[in-house]
A = this chain, B = another copy of it.
């Protein structure tokens, strides 16, 4: 484990060397190493919590908000949850070596397309120290060396977590250098990490827009930008309105600060007069601030609702706030969603198979739901065990980024002296 002493370039070069061996290890070695990491997190909890207290004290002195202090805080319960997460990753099927296609080509060659690790994955993240371990577990399981770069606010916690994990993993045969933390949390280290082309194979930022923007300017290494989610629920003319209300309230209220929460409600004009008053009162009672188009405001005149602007339609509130519109058809809903959505998670509530199929075919998004809440877009809910983020880009990975998405492929081709004519 390299901290402070080594430069970013040296750490990455060490990770590359380690990745060559790590990528060929069988599942048994990797799973034993992950079990040992989980155990070490509990056995060495005193050491970890001590370092965390240093960060917390510095954070309080620097005047961090209560919310940030909470995100930064570790305790015995949280450490156990982190260790359990590592054990869950260990229990997942190994993506490496999976044959995803195979055939005898017309020329007689036997071709297999197999999943292999990317090599070196860099994860840059903010505040939460648990990401150190979550990301490390996913990368090691998928045969990738990982280079972590956390924020300076969590530097003591991250350093000890990375050290504990690296030491435990190494004891079980994971090569040295496979798990490293870049010491500095500054923009300079970020830029150096993001330009290690040919050494770092992928960077995944986990953090706010500032972090993504900083990467966009400098990165020469491929980046998968985690998603922003401007998600919609569309309630069709044929919807079961009871179910629709449950879905809308769930999608907006259950956890408003996450990317798969709904930000806009669209309702078919045929059911708007009966549906909108009840659902909007329920949302209002749950503390949701509403912005509506002309028809919505007319139908529910007894609630405070300012006019929704194009900016509202385009905004990911990440809060108890919702834009509401009335549409004349499923196609109008689709057009609205494809114009304003961010391609994350979109839902239709309907009992009409034609509307359901049309919506699923035409909406351009990572996940398109029929009669379910958008909140389900999540690696664990999809049975992928864990995720390192959710991608709204179309290349490489779209949707939750799990173990398979941390891999690339390789064609293995076998002949018996074949030459091309």
On A, residues with C-beta under 8 Å from B are: 20, 24, 103, 105-107, 109, 111, 113, 118-119, 201-202, 222, 224, 240, 243, 246-247, 250-251, 254, 338, 356, 360-362, 364-373, 375-377, 381-383, 393-396, 398-399, 408-420
Closest to A358 in B: B24
**A411 and B399: CB pair below 8 A?**
yes
Give chain B residues whose Cβ lies under 8 Å from the Cβ of A376.
Answer: 105, 107, 109, 413, 415, 418, 420
Contacts of A377 in B (CB 8 A): 411
Question: Within the assembled complex, what's the spacing in Å between the Cα atoms of A146 and B52?
Answer: 53
The chain B residue sitting closest to A373, CB to CB, is B419
Nearest-neighbour CB distance to chain B for A139, whole angstroms, equals: 14
A412 and B119 within 8 A (CB) = no
Give the oligomeric copy count.
Answer: 2
B372 with A394: CB separation less than 8 A: no
Q: Does A372 contact B417, Cβ atoms closer than 8 Å?
A: yes
Give the residues in chain B near A356, CB-CB below 8 Å: 414
Cα of A301 to Cα of B155 in the assembled complex, Å: 60
Residue of B whose beta carbon sits closest to that of A407 = B394
Interchain CB contact under 8 A, A418 and B105: no
- Taking CB atoms, residues of chain B closer than 8 Å to A246 are 417, 419
Across-interface contacts of A371 in B (CB, < 8 A): 414-418
Separation of A381 and B421 alpha carbons in the complex (Å): 11
B370 in contact with A395 (CB, 8 Å):
no
Q: Which B residue sits closest to A105, measured CB to CB?
A: B383
**A419 to B, closest residue via Cβ:** B250
Q: How far is the CB of A248 from chain B (nearest CB, A)?
A: 10
Shortest CB-to-CB span from A385 to chain B, Å, is 10
Residue of A111, A365, A418 with highest tally of chain B CB at under 10 A: A418
Known contacts A202-B395, A382-B105; decide if A24 and B361 are in contact (CB<8 Å): yes
- Taking CB atoms, residues of chain B closer than 8 Å to A247 are 417-419
Q: Which residue of A113, A369, A398, A411 has the most chain B CB atoms within 10 A of its CB atom?
A: A411
With both chains docked as a complex, state the minimum distance between the C-beta of A88 and any C-beta of chain B, in angstroms: 12
Q: Once the chains bind, are A395 and B107 in contact (CB under 8 Å)?
A: no
> Which single residue of chain B is at the shortest CB-CB distance from A359?
B412
